[in-house]
Amino acid sequence: MALILLRLVFLTIFLRFIAAQQKTGSVSVGASLTATADVKPWLSSSGEFAFGFQQVQGTDNFLLSIRYPEEGQTVPTGSKVELLGESGLVLTHPQGTQVWRFGSISAIASGFMNDTGKFIIFGSNSRKIWDSFDYPADTLLPTKVIERGEGMNSTISPTNFSGGRFQLRLLQDGNLLLNTRNILSGNSLVDYYRSGTSDDSNSTTSCERVIFDATGYMYILRRNGERLYLTQRGSVPSGDYYHIATLDSDGVFRPYNYPNNSTGNASWEVVLYLLGRLFLCCCNVQGRQMLEEETSTL
């Protein structure tokens, strides 16, 4: 986790340094990025979010990401990501082997990196056909909405970004879960947090969606409009801050904030969350032991 946080601080400073070079957010068909140490990412108009390659610390491999680690394979130096008119967003090894792609069912007109950290691909009719927020990895950014049936996985470790042992899921019945998972099969196993927001007797009190709002607060929105806050009220600082929430490789869901006007002397601060037993895991040895006992059979 320390390696990830160091990389986040570095990237915040790095983005400000290069922000003046490209501020439109638009990416034209045919544009490409090659994984090298000095590669410049595709920036949002504010320069605060970027789509591109990050070098994995201590290795010659690179991670394709949107500012924060994305789940997926790391690739060697010289790999390339391209936005192609008929093929979509394509990631290839230096030898030309395709690693990953978003395939298109219609001609692609352009891409756009917006100021919420979202990369969007538009078709020739200006309709959105792909949105990176629909495919979260281990990190959520503000304005992300988790609908029923959606979720995210942790990474295996701070340096291995493949899908790990833990999941955050919003079930179709309205319950928000944190559970362990089998890495090989992807099957869900033991849940160690359950929101209890499914109500068969009164569907209006069931969870409709989970919202991570622009101010850094996360809450469950019930169908009757009631909000059940997962963030302790008053724990998120007001003002100009970056906010993220990550499901880390140890199974703990951690929200963070970082001052936008920092010159590099600040650090990412963990925000207090009210997630039942998960909160114990963050704060004391007993909670950590509970999680380890439940995952020891994996």
Q: Half-sphere exposure of residue 104, counting CA atoms within 13 Å on the CB side?
A: 23
Q: Are 2-134 and 139-295 equal in CATH topology?
A: yes
For residue 193, what are its two tokens? 């947090």
Which of 272, 279, 277, 275 is closest to 290 using CA atoms?
Answer: 277
The number of angstroms, rounded, from the C-alpha of 178 to the middle of its chain's C-alpha atoms is 16
CATH topology of domain 2-134: Agglutinin, subunit A (2.90.10)
Residue 195 CB neighbour total at 10 angstroms: 19
Architecture category of domain 139-295 in CATH: Orthogonal Prism (2.90)
Residues with Cβ within 8 Å of residue 215, at least 6 apart in sequence? 142, 236, 238, 243
Q: What backbone torsions phi and psi does residue 205 show, to the nearest 5 degrees?
A: -95, -5
Residue 262 CB neighbour total at 10 angstroms: 14
Can you give the pLDDT at residue 32?
86
pLDDT means per 10 residues, the chain with 298 residues, are 34 38 71 84 78 79 65 72 83 84 75 84 84 83 90 86 90 92 90 87 85 90 91 80 88 85 73 51 40 44
Can you give the pLDDT at residue 220?
92
Can you give the pLDDT at residue 226?
92
Give the three-state DSSP class for 123. strand
Distance separating alpha carbons of residues 206 and 224, to the nearest angstrom: 8
Give the three-state DSSP class for 12. helix
Which of 192, 217, 216, 194 is closest to 207 using CA atoms?
Answer: 194
The number of angstroms, rounded, from the C-alpha of 266 to the middle of its chain's C-alpha atoms is 22
Task: Map out the domains of the chain as residue ranges.
Answer: 2-134, 139-295
